[in-house]
Structure 1
Amino acid sequence: MSPELLFTLATLALGSLGAAFFALYGLAWLASRKDHDVAITLSSQDNDIVFLFDDEKLVNATPAAQSIMAAAANVGSDWSRLLSVMISKFPTLQRDISELADCGSMAIESRDESAVMKCEWRNGLARLTLFDRETEQAHLDLDRHSLMAMEQELETLRATTEHVPFLVWRENEDDTITWANSAYMSLADSLSDEAETQSWPPVSLFNTQLLANAGSKESRRLRLKDAAGEDHWYDVFRYKLGKTTLYTANSADRTVKAEETLREFTQTLTKTFSHLTIGLAVFDRNRQLALFNPALSDLTTLSAEFLITRPALTTFLDRLRDSQMMPEPKDYKSWRHEMAELENAAEDGTYEEIWTLPGDKTYRVSGRPHPDGAIAFLFEDISAEMSLTRRFRSEIETGQAVLDSLSEAIAVFASDGHMVMSNSAYTSLWNVTRKNDSAEISISDATRVWNAKCAPTPLWDNIRDFVRASGERNEWIGQTRLWDGRRLNCRFVPMPNGQTLVGFMPESRTQTMRPVLRPQASSSHYVEM
């Protein structure tokens, strides 16, 4: 045979083999396609709840199964959505289904044994069939109105939980989340990696074991770090519901920030008050010591260890009494009554007393109201001030006694014309009563008394001008006559700080009358009246 004929025969043979191969491949593909279509096709008689999954994608479902998926949370893949509905009833579903490809089929009991999930591996697909044993045993007939009412209630509850601004979720006994609202899912999604697909169950954001011993109305403040590493705080509450647990979490960031601000403010006040010599004690609305400074311990001799324990107001006052750092009462009952009045007066801001203590110590104690029902007590050591006051009072009394011993009638007037002091001879001469507050008597009042008991004279006009005059002044003297005929010698002496001393010395009837003199323009000579 020629080479050309052999080449032609070989070409025909190869073409026939290729055509046969493609024909067989096409038939195999069509058969596989047919098997796949048969596998994902559910019979119209399938009234059970059946799901067909290709990995995490739902490829088919019966109408009843589609109703369940419609009620599932919108969380990632189809498999995650189914888990969000089923995991509370089948807590081991996610773990068991991972072995389905190896074992081929399995039946998973529900937590309460009221249902069974039958799982089969067919042509690379997972077929899940849900059987409800209670439904098989008894059918409940619901009228249309009852069903509508239940659906409306379900919609109301779902809308409520989805729109509340705080986190709500439920966990089963092994701490797996079985349900969560949108606020929780959004927060969990924001804390996950951007490339990570949202799945079910969501990550547990909090260590709920810390609430194991918490009561139903007792919260725990838990910390949560965001993606940037910043701390956020939540007040988490725990409610036991059968075999599951309901949790709610409210953001406490503002509260924590306010507490930190208050703590910093308190520390600032403490540092500021630590340099004061006045003892400060602030009691909160519960009447417990909330703030004090070192001067309080120094003045009251109460130890810092005792003050740090935040004693109650009554305990604080008892300790002061035991330490003899407050006036000793006549009896304990009356003292308790006085302490109750002390607290009430401090609330009104009207409490202020002088405590005279043993050892020549004197304290000024005042009470002031503070915001939110708190009260503050101030302890000021005024021993030196009281000692100085007593010394001044003694000196004044001594000076008054010296003036009273003089036979000359003396009165001292301030620069504004009011009487500062007078002696006994003055009150006797003019027949007036000495007042406790001499400032109530002016030079005009005094000259009216003098004028009424003396013969007419321009001397009183001159003294009024002299007392109120400013600048440099010179001492001068004058005379007038009392209505009983006696001559009255008068002297007017400038004193420091603009004060003026007026002295009166009546002559006896046997003395010779001297002419009355009046000053002329700050000179030292006299004019006869």
Structure 2
Amino acid sequence: MASIAQPVFAQAAADAAQSPHLFTSTQVVGFSVVIGVISAALLSTLWVVRQRGNLESEGREIRSALSDAQQRISQYQALIADKNRRIVIWDGDERPELLGQLPAETGAPQDNEFLAFGLWLKPRSASELDRAIDGLRQSAKSFDIVVETHREEVLEAQGRVSGGRAFVRFVALNNLRAELAELKIERDRLMSSISAFQGLLDSIDLPAWQRDTEGRLTWVNHAYGAAVDASSPDEAIAEGREILTTIARERIRAVATPESPFHDKISTVIHGNRTFLDVVDVRVPSGSAGIAVDVSGIETVRAELERTLKSHAETLDHLATPVAIFDGDQRLQFYNQAFVSLWQLDIAFLESKPDNAELLERLRAAKKLPDQLSWKTWKETALSVYRALDTQSDLWHLPNGQTLRVFATAHPQGGATWVFENLTEQVDLETRYNTLVKVQGETIDHLSEGVAVFGPDGRIRLSNPAFRALWGITEAEAKPGTHIRALGDACAPSYDRPDGWKTFAELITSFDDERRSSQGTLELFSGLVLDYAVIPLPNAQTMLTFVNMTDSVRAERALTEKNDALRKADELKNDFVQHVSYELRSPLTNIIGFTDLLRTPGLGDLNERQAEYIDHISTSSSVLLTLVNDILDLATVDAGIMRLNYSEIDLGDLLDDVSIQIADRLQESGVTLEITAPARLGSIIADPQRLKQILVKLLSNAANFSPEGASIALACQREGTDFVFSVTDQGPGISQEMISTVFDRFATGAKSGKRGGAGLGLSIVDSFVNLHNGQVVIDSQPGKGTTVICRIPSANLPSYAAAE
């Protein structure tokens, strides 16, 4: 219709164009409307015809699709009806729909409890499945996981979203797929374990690493990276930073095997410091893995422990106390020299590390242990220390008389230490101490001196009866514990002065750093005179002693008075002797002078009797003058004012002068003098007058006691700088009892000598020799004569002022 109408409309339009004035405008509008209506009708008819054809075609397609869908539904129903599958469908918030069944051996519920996964799935699988379903329903996240039931069955769970619905299909796997699923589960478990172990290794401060078969690093932890100064483990791997030296790595590769991992200490440098690592490296098919422990501190501690143990062993070895140490197997591990000396055991036996029981048996066999009624019981008791919690101690009284205190201490790690303390001396000292204390107590109680001992608190500890008797107090008033002030109050009736008990209290209770002692004398009201002494004792104690000196004081006072009287008498005697001696010298000098004058021929001749009288007067006067001079010399020596006039003396000239001076005396006695001396005696520094007096006195004494016709020997010699001479006579000799008195003044031997004397000659010799710092010795036996030996040392000072 459209094809026919189009040419007509076209022709009409053409005609209208050619003939513009043929139709009016109204006609044209009407004509246009009619044409439009007709066109619309034609178009509607054409659309209806075409739409009907489309509907018929879609109907045929829908019927075909329905037939296919019904066929698929039948197939799906047959598939779902299989007992190896179950599908859960969620459509929005509606209750889920369950299709199909799972085998009964899986333990899966057949009702609505199927969705309570925790009842029939393992906790890990149930929680994983719940999380996956939540992600499926909320975020449309598909999943494929494998879960395990409580019956060790494996299921595959697949989650999908389709048409706004969420589907989860549970499939019971066959054998092959079950094995694959189990392998997958095992793989997941292993991967989880590996991840956990790597996380653990990353968190510890011990360097750990993995290497491939070529020895290259494939994984390291953070501690390894820090040890090699890397910013991260990846940097350490990328740069191949090694914590061990090349030699150490080669050694590990050469030694480590799958059956025997490498384990040893290796020295390396970490952060610039020498470090010791305890390395464990394991060989695996894919390479190796290792870990290192820093044992530098342990090595230092170990070395220090070894030094300490060595020092302790050396210290114990030098101890006087025997020590023996046994290990957990009760075998001897250490002993010191004191232990060997105590038991006198063979070193080879001790070095064999004997058992403790064996050691005791050896000592028992040698009869070195105490005798026991039951040896087995005693030994079990001794060895029970290895099971004891506390230190055990016992006293062993050995057959050789020694007493030992034995300490046995168990070690926390096993073993025990035996210490043998020798108490023999201590027991002996304690016994002697107790005896001494008892004896001292008895002694103090029986002393005539009063004794009291006070503690640092001023309280009396002990006192004896003499103390209480001297002070007139009772035993109750001086009982132990009484304070010194109370004791002073009790003693006040006998003596109450500030220098008495108050002074004692200050000395005894003083807090001075240096404890003082004190001595003195007290006179009691009763007339008793006591000597007291305050003596510090150990342990801050103080002893107060009182000695009754009443009789001694009285005797001393009497003796003092007598001594003063004797001193005054002696002074009076000396004054008298000196005065008389000085007074006698002048008349004697005059007598001797006038006698010599009367002998002068110019005054006239004397008859024989007058000459004899003059000789007697001269001789007696000379003897008296000599006696007076000797008395004056001795008085001067006694007064301490005698001074020697030192000068250099030629000893040869001295002997000549002495021989001339003594010639008349020798002739009168009828004896001869023999002088024996070296040709050159030399000189000596001494007082010539006093030295000459010594020689003359000795020669005169020898001539007096020598028989008529005998000879006197004068032997002289030099010994170094000393002048030694001896005078020997042939007289009657001196007994041993008299030798000790020959130097005493006025000790005379007139009964045996030719001429009696005052007995001052040898006293003067002894005094003058001593003034020269010399020595004089007498050697004599009755009937064999006497020898007097003198030694005069040469002085160093040139001269001294001489006293007249």
- TM exceeding 0.5: no
TM-score (norm 2): 0.31
> Taking CA–CA contacts closer than 8 Å with sequence separation of 6 or more, which of the two structures ends up with the larger relative contact order?
1
TM-score (norm 1): 0.44
Structure number with higher helix proportion: 2
